Amino acid sequence: MAKSKKKMSPALDFNTQWRYKPAPENSDHIQIQKAYDLFINNEFIPPVNADYFPTINPATGKKIADIAQAENIDIDKAVVAASKALKAWQKIGAVERGKYLFRIARLIQERAREFAVIESLDGGKPIRESKNIDIPLAAAHFFYHAGWADKLQYAFPNQTPKPVGVAAQIIPWNFPLLMAAWKIAPALATGNTVVLKPAETTPLTALKLAELIRESGLPSGVVNIVTGDGSAGAALVDHPMVNKIAFTGSTEVGKIIQRKLAGSAKKYTLELGGKGANIILEDAAIDQAVEGIINGIYFNQGHVCCAGSRLFVQESVAELVVRKLKDRMETLVVGDPLDKNTDIGAINSASQLRTIKKYIKKGIKDGAELYQSKCAIPGGKGYWCRPSLFTNVSQAHTIVQEEIFGPVLTLQTFRTLEEVLNKANNTFYGLSAGVWTDKGAKIFTMTRGLRAGVVWANTYNKFDPASPFGGYKESGIGREGGLHGLAGYLKF
């Protein structure tokens, strides 16, 4: 048979033919100072040693501002301020405390755009996420806890809960404002005072929150915000006047803190790392599941403790899922965090990019097969990583066992529910998991069998202030959010 001479049209290339024009968020209205001091007693005061470090825009590699490095003596000032404020804060009464929380929530809403832009500038996350997820959820945490402030006797009937005292709160860089809200709101609602330390690479929205807290008229010393590296966090943990430590960060640092606190009377909650299993059963709605996989691992550059970084797909649909997943990966836009078209922004820091690259190298060395989308990435001095997928991996691979905290997914297949439960639970972590299936009964079998603090069914990465969040095993101790989170700030 004669071959058709008809010319084939060239393959469609998303990056050249389908890309939208850049749509950067306006940042003209943003006011960022050249340098930020420590927020103690509702005042910004310089650190005693006059020591500052730069906070960098990860999309450009350029400095945004200088940030105070707190020394032990500064930390002491902040803790003493929080301790002195306790009495007045408790005397003010629960109804009034609730009103302050409502006011802070409303002020966050009013300045949502400013917070969103600063979050994306300082942390590298796409503006779509800062605007639609981080900032609204931060306000929601204040609203939710405002409601509880004068209803604790209903939350804990037949008990007389009392505040624990001064809460030292140490947070990571992946959800800076949200983590601050997640920690400050329940502490204040339950009558405690706070010293919060943001991560060294993303202090700006916490410092903006300090400005807003002062504007809200909150009595001085109730919330203090100190900046600095791990040594400032360690000084907070060690301070004898601190009554509760609320830490979110790596398992490595969580272990150091837990060892320090052994035998002490300090209360603590530790929200640590994760290696979430996202499990696709053969009867799942495959297109939705593929969106769930993308959202589970590529959301916020994979800088998510509960990311679905281990994908398990039932053998009969594996080929189809991999094909659709790779097609979808090709459509993801890596680029300017302030551009509304961007799906994957900048990796948070040079050191985090090095860590991700180290794991990608290790995966290849161990024999796994790497697929990375072919999208263009911006030039310049920013930190970027294409969405990456490893196939041909087994449980023994380092990239399957260790938290990478970047847009890197591993894929394994399975035949039975029993097999996938064994594989999913075969990890030191136990923070999150996802299950995709058409059958309610299978959801219950899986959720009962999975050793993870949060299990999503037919969705992924959904958060709500009313829902307790926390991990099993090396993913942490205690819960934040909901009534369980409130209980962590109370003595019974």
Q: Which residues are catalytic?
A: 271, 305
Of the ranges 26-34, 108-116, 195-203, 282-290, which one interacts with ligand NAD (CB under 6 A)? 195-203
Which residue's entry shows tokens 């180290």? 358
Q: Which residues partner with 490 through β-bridges?
A: 163
CB of 231 to ligand NAD, least distance (A): 8
How many residues line the site for ligand NAD (CB under 6 A)?
A: 29
Of the ranges 60-68, 139-147, 268-276, 417-425, which one interacts with ligand NAD (CB under 6 A)? 268-276
Read off the tokens for 415.
Answer: 């035949």
Closer of 109 and 250 to ligand NAD (Cβ)? 250
Read off the tokens for 242.
Answer: 């601190």
Binding residue for ligand NAD, selected from 123, 186, 221, 273, defined by CB under 6 A: 273
Contacts with 257 (C-beta within 8 Å, 6 or more apart), sequence order? 237, 245, 247, 268, 270
Closer of 189 and 404 to ligand NAD (Cβ)? 404
Q: Is 225 in the site for ligand NAD (CB under 6 A)?
A: no
Binding residue for ligand NAD, selected from 199, 290, 433, 486, defined by CB under 6 A: 199
Percentages helix, strand, coil for the chain (3-state, rounded to 5) are 40, 20, 40
Closer of 437 and 475 to ligand NAD (Cβ)? 475
- How far apart CA 224 and CA 78 sit, in angstroms, is 6
- How far apart CA 236 and CA 70 sit, in angstroms, is 10
CB of 307 to ligand NAD, least distance (A): 8
List the interface residues with ligand NAD, window 295-314 (CB under 6 A): 305
- How far apart CA 88 and CA 165 sit, in angstroms, is 12
Query: How many whole angstroms from its chain centre is CA 303?
Result: 7
CB of 129 to ligand NAD, least distance (A): 14
Q: Is 488 in the site for ligand NAD (CB under 6 A)?
A: no
Of the ranges 272-280, 338-346, 411-419, 442-450, which one interacts with ligand NAD (CB under 6 A)? 272-280
Binding residue for ligand NAD, selected from 249, 337, 363, 465, defined by CB under 6 A: 249
Query: How many whole angstroms from its chain centre is CA 60?
Result: 22
Binding residue for ligand NAD, selected from 250, 341, 391, 425, defined by CB under 6 A: 250
Q: Which residues partner with 480 through β-bridges?
A: 469
Q: Is 129 in the site for ligand NAD (CB under 6 A)?
A: no
Within 74-198, strands assigned E span 162-163, 166-170, 193-197
Query: How many whole angstroms from its chain centre is CA 146?
Result: 22
Q: Is 194 in the site for ligand NAD (CB under 6 A)?
A: no
Q: Is 335 in the site for ligand NAD (CB under 6 A)?
A: no
CB-facing half-sphere around the CA of 445: CA atoms within 13 A: 15
List the interface residues with ligand NAD, window 382-411 (CB under 6 A): 403, 405
Host H or E run for residue 312: strand 310-314
Concatenating the DSSP letter of every residue in 335-400 gives --TTBTT-SB---S-HHHHHHHHHHHHHHHHTTPEEEE-------TT------EEEES--TTSHHH
Q: Is 256 in the site for ligand NAD (CB under 6 A)?
A: yes
The CB-nearest residue to ligand NAD is 233
CB of 431 to ligand NAD, least distance (A): 6
Q: Is 293 in the site for ligand NAD (CB under 6 A)?
A: no
Q: Is 83 in the site for ligand NAD (CB under 6 A)?
A: no
Concatenating the DSSP letter of every residue in 74-130 gives HHHHHHHHHHHHHHHHHHT-HHHHHHHHHHHHHHHHHTHHHHHHHHHHHH---HHHI
Total number of residues shown for the chain: 492
Cα distances (Å, whole numbers) of residue 100 to 22, 179, 264 = 40, 19, 32
Binding residue for ligand NAD, selected from 149, 152, 167, 170, defined by CB under 6 A: 170
Binding residue for ligand NAD, selected from 248, 309, 314, 410, defined by CB under 6 A: 248
Binding residue for ligand NAD, selected from 128, 197, 310, 386, defined by CB under 6 A: 197
| DSSP label at residue 241 | T
CB of 400 to ligand NAD, least distance (A): 16
CB of 180 to ligand NAD, least distance (A): 11
Q: Which residues partner with 455 through β-bridges?
A: 433
* Binding positions for ligand NAD, rule: CB under 6 A: 170-174, 197, 199-200, 229-230, 233-234, 237, 248-250, 253, 256-257, 271-274, 305, 403, 405, 431, 471, 476
